[in-house]
A = this chain, B = another copy of it.
Amino acid sequence: MMEETGSRPLDALNAARNKTVMIELKNGFSYIGKLKAFDIHINIVLHEAEEHHNGEVRRKLGTVFIRGDTITIISPS
């Protein structure tokens, strides 16, 4: 999952499309959901997303748009 097919970081995001990823933000929150869309700013759209904080599910959000400049890391769940 999320295996890059080339040598650019965005290739790795492309390979993760429609798969479940964990996204962590600078404010300590994280979001787990299916990666549906991203752009060069690393703006992200997840489907079936859950918000996590301090190791617990905080909310089910369904679709969520995450602004790229708030993200620290993205990883397969």
Contacts and interface: CB of A to CB of B under 8 A. Distances in A.
Contacts of A65: 2, 9, 12-13, 73-75
Contact of A69 (B3, B45, B69): B69
A13 B9 CA distance: 13
A52 to B, nearest CB: 13
Interface residues of A, number: 43
How many copies of this kind of chain does the complex include? 7
Contacts of A72: 25, 27, 29, 66-67, 70
A67 B45 contact: no
Contacts of A3: 63
Nearest to A59: B75
